[in-house]
Amino acid sequence: MKESNRKVLIAGNWKMNKTVKETEDFVYELKNKVNNTKTEVLLCVPFLSLKKALDESQNSKIKIAAQNCHFKESGAFTGEVSVLMLKDLGIYNVLLGHSERRQYFNETDYNINLKLKAALKENFTAIVCVGETLEERKSNITNEIISIQIKNCLKDISSEDMKNVIIAYEPIWAIGTGETASKEQAQLVCKNIRGVLENLFDFETANNVLILYGGSVKKENIKELLEEKDIDGALIGGASLDVENFNDIIEIAEKI
Ligand code: PGA
C-alpha cells in the first residue's frame, strides 16, 4: 500500500509512433480493460491521432495528452501547434520538456516555462520532464542539475497552478536504453524534487504533486519503483506501445 494520498498515474509516451488507425485500435482495446481501475491512465499521442484517441476514449478511464505545444496562441510559427488549438479539440493535458525535445529540438528550461504558463492559463494539466545526462550523474551533480531544471521550468508558477502540474523525472541515460535507474536512485532524486518543491512553494503543495519516474519502465520493474515513497507513477515509452504489455503494467500498479 502507498502511504500517501496521491493517486498513481501510469502514462504512456508514444513519441513518433502509431498511425491514426493503430491509435483507434489501441484505445478501443485498452478502455475495456482499464475501466474499473483506480490507477489513472494517460496516453501522450502524436498530434494527428489526438482527435481519434479522444473520441475513442470518451466515457472511459483513459485521458489523452499532446506531446508538446507552442507558447504563443497563434502566429507565424510554421509547423507548430498552440494550446488553443489543442483546447479546441478537447485536449487538456500536455507533456512538456521531454529530453528528446530538449536534445533534438533545442528546447530549454526557458521555453518549457513559457509553454507551461501558456498551458496552465488554459486550464491544462502539464507533465514537466526533467533529467540528467550520464556525464552529469557520473560527476555527482544530478540533484543540482534537476533542482536547476525544476526552478527554471517552474519560474513564476504559483502554488495554485501546481495543482495542475506533474513532474516526470527521466534520467536521460535510462530512456530507451533498457537501463533503468535503480529504485533507490530514482527514489532519491524524486525525494529531492519534492524537497525543491517544498522550498519553492510549501509542504502541502510539494506533498500533493505527482512525481513520475520514466526511463525503461517495464512490467518487470514497475512494482519496485512504485513502492518507493516519492514515486507516484511512471512515464513509459517503449513498453506503452503494446496494449497487452501496457495493460499488464497498469494491473501491477493497481495492486500497489
Ligand atoms: P522508455 O521512454 O520507456 O522507452 O525508456 C521513456 C520516455 O521517454 O518517456
CA distances, 217 to each of 50, 178, 207, 212, 245 (Å): 24, 8, 24, 11, 11
Beta-carbon count within 10 A of 68 CB = 20
**Helix H segments across the chain?**
20-34, 50-57, 83-89, 99-104, 109-121, 134-138, 142-153, 183-200, 203-208, 222-226, 243-254
- Which of 9, 95, 175 should be mutated for ligand 1, with most atoms under 8 A from CB? 175
- Segment 35-65, tens digit of pLDDT: 899 999 999 999 999 999 999 999 999 999 9
Catalytic position from the list 98, 132, 136, 228? 98
70 counts as catalytic: no
pLDDT of residue 22 exceeding 80, the answer is yes
Atom of ligand 1 nearest to the CA of 217: 3
Question: What is the distance in A from the centroid of ligand 1 to the CA of 157?
Answer: 27
Which backbone phi and psi does 114 adopt, to 5 degrees? -65, -40
- What pTM does this model have? 0.97
pLDDT of residue 33 exceeding 70, the answer is yes
Q: What is the DSSP string of 162-227?
A: GGGEEEEE--GGGTTSS-PPPHHHHHHHHHHHHHHHHHHS-HHHHHHS-EEEESS--TTTHHHHHT
pLDDT of residue 178 exceeding 90, the answer is no
Q: What is the mean pLDDT of the chain?
A: 96
pLDDT of residue 88 exceeding 90, the answer is yes
136 counts as catalytic: no
